[in-house]
Amino acid sequence: MSGSQLPELTLPQMLREQARRQGARIAIRQKDFGIWKPLRCDAYFQRACHFGLGLRALGLSEGGHVGVISENRVEWVLAQMGAGLVGAVTVGVYPTSPSPEVAYVVAHADVEVMVCEDQEQTDKVLAARHELPKLRHIVIVETKGLRSYPPQLRSMITAFAEVERMGAASGGMAAVDRALAGQGLDDVGLMIYTSGSTGKPKGAMITYRNIRGVVPGIAERLGLSAATTHLSYLPLCHVAEQMLSTFVPVYIGSQVNFGESIRTVQEDLREIAPTMFLGVPRIWEKLHASIAIKLQETGPLRRALFDRAWAMCKPLADKPRRSWSLAEQLRFGLAYWLVFRALQHFIGLGRCDIALTGAAPIPPDVVRFFRVLGVPLIEVYGLTESTGMVTGHRRDEVVVGTVGVPTLGVEHRIGPDGELLLRGDMVFAGYYKSPEATEAAVRDGWLHTGDVVREEGGQLRVVDRLKDIMITAGGKNLTPSEIENAMKASPYIKECIIVADARRFVGALVQIDYETAGKWAEARRIPFTHFRSLAEHPQVRELIESEIATRNSQLAPVSQIRRFHLLTKELDHDDGEVTATMKVRRASIYQAYAQEIEALYR
């Protein structure tokens, strides 16, 4: 599929076209109270129109900004498409964000109408309403607790269903047609705020041309079609989930499923058995850890059977299936039916045609683990500013540790300092209210990604963020992500933050994985009551020392961790230690743990 094969239509225009072409197709399914409820394509378009017209009835201005703070659900995309159908711009806010972060994004983005999932999210907005002069109205999806608000607050709050009714009663479909007639590919349709790992989040303006420009490359590289099914659970205010829940499905007609909650993902996966699955590295690490726990809990015979199957098939992880010998095919087939099939179904990926990981580096051993199991996991690369995925492996041409090759329509080159530069229709329009940051990011049409890469045999390998590369006291360049990912391949290590800049040797702050380390401790009758007591137990420290030593052996001597400090609490978003997407805020952590870091070098 090439960009020229897609209609010259914006995303909202394409939704109308799909409703006309195949209105009876099931576009979305949502699980409510244990039942999967379908939404046809024509109903998707109609409900989005009604919601958009309802927003106008609430006083949303021409081209106004609509905020959404909610877990993934059908109302999220109805709000987004509804806003687009009347010419407005959608701004997503992470539902895990505390009130000050919500206030910053809503104020900076000039949001006029805020769509909130429930009372919890509404309270975050109301707590900061005096800092939000542009905010006119709040729309709430789940109205439980609404009556507890005083009358003066209730006057600015309307139920989502009521906004739809207002729009349906307005008889204003002609207004939707007028808005779509005047809509062009260069109009901004979406604002996605960066994670803010090094400063305040920036609002990336995504145009409909950007969206249309990125879809062909994603669909072709991942082999997606109208038959593709997807479980949407990562935050929709992140570009990775947007590309697979709205961009691609609206253009190619694939199906999106919304589970009951972020907490029911594994159960939902088992029920749906989707043909495509996207997991950020932490998700794959958690799935890896859940299998490790299951193996710990099972009997010695099954563990021995897994170990034998693993040893037989491990060499196949890096070998294209088309080049497997008959003996290798038989070997994998035996392991699949005896062991791997049950594990695939345990994690809900038994029918998965393509699985992908992106948004952050992943330990290569984790990729190999799932590929040995028969899960077709590939690594992809993209940014908010590139409107999502712009490189990725072809399913049967995987070089573990790289992010593949550029997708359709993407031009790339490597700058003199190793920085990856990108050009194409998918390069964003700029940062909202920040021309200086835009000029720094896009020069002469080329997006400066800030990522250092190497080209190896035609494949791109991401070395690290340009700003994160460290130089030791001995003058050696280190890439912290390489060391950190090697350590996080351990099921007992959840986070590893390297300290090495201008230091004599590599030190680290390490956070245990409470679930897997806890199971390990229980199996050995080691007493603990909470995270701190577990992390401070001498035997747990010995476990982590052993895990670090094992992974140090895979690294060059200069990159090996010589000393580490075990954190006694989990890194927390509310404490400013990680972003809403769980990216580590190095500067904040270095400041918070300054004493512990200095103790490593005494």
Q: What is the pLDDT of residues 440-467, one digit of tens each?
A: 999 999 999 988 888 888 889 888 777 7
Domains annotated on the chain, with CATH: 210-425+455-465 (3.40.50.12780), 469-600 (3.30.300.30)
Mean pLDDT (whole number) for 340-358: 87
Cβ atoms of 31 and 44 within 8 Å: the answer is no
Residue 341, C-beta contacts closer than 8 angstroms, at least 6 positions apart: 350, 374
Could you write out the DSSP letters of every residue in 98-127?
-HHHHHHHHHHTTEEEEEESSHHHHHHHHH
335: left (phi over 0), alpha (psi -120 to 50) or beta: alpha
- H-helix or E-strand spanning residue 297: helix 281-297
HEC profile of 533-576: HHHCCHHHHHHHHHHHHHHHCCCCHHHCEEEEEECCCCCCCCCC
Q: How far is CA 164 from CA 26, 49, 475, in A?
A: 21, 8, 63
- Residue 76's pLDDT band, with cuts at 50, 70 and 90, is very high
Cβ atoms of 512 and 543 within 8 Å: the answer is no
The model's pTM: 0.83
Which pLDDT score, from 0 to 100, does residue 3 have?
Answer: 46
In one-letter notation, the amino acid at residue 150 is P
- Residue 205's pLDDT band, with cuts at 50, 70 and 90, is very high
Q: Rounded to an integer, what distance in angstroms lies between the CA atom of residue 105 and that of residue 111?
A: 9
Which pLDDT score, from 0 to 100, does residue 126 have?
Answer: 92
Q: Identify the weakest region by mean pLDDT among 70-74, 372-376, 445-449.
A: 372-376
Strand partners, 255: 229
Cβ atoms of 70 and 124 within 8 Å: the answer is no
Secondary structure class of 193 (helix, strand, coil): strand
Hey, what's the torsion of the CAs at 466, 468, 472, 477, to 10 degrees? -30
- H-helix or E-strand spanning residue 48: helix 41-57
pLDDT per position as a tens digit, 485-541: 889 888 899 999 888 877 888 899 999 999 889 989 988 899 999 999 999 999 999
Cβ atoms of 100 and 71 within 8 Å: the answer is no
Identify which of 429, 468, 469, 459 has the alpha carbon closest to the alpha carbon of residue 447: 429
Q: How far is CA 129 from CA 136, 163, 264, 368, in A?
A: 10, 21, 32, 49
- Residue 256's pLDDT band, with cuts at 50, 70 and 90, is very high
pLDDT per position as a tens digit, 119-178: 999 999 999 888 999 999 999 999 887 778 888 788 889 999 999 999 999 877 888 999
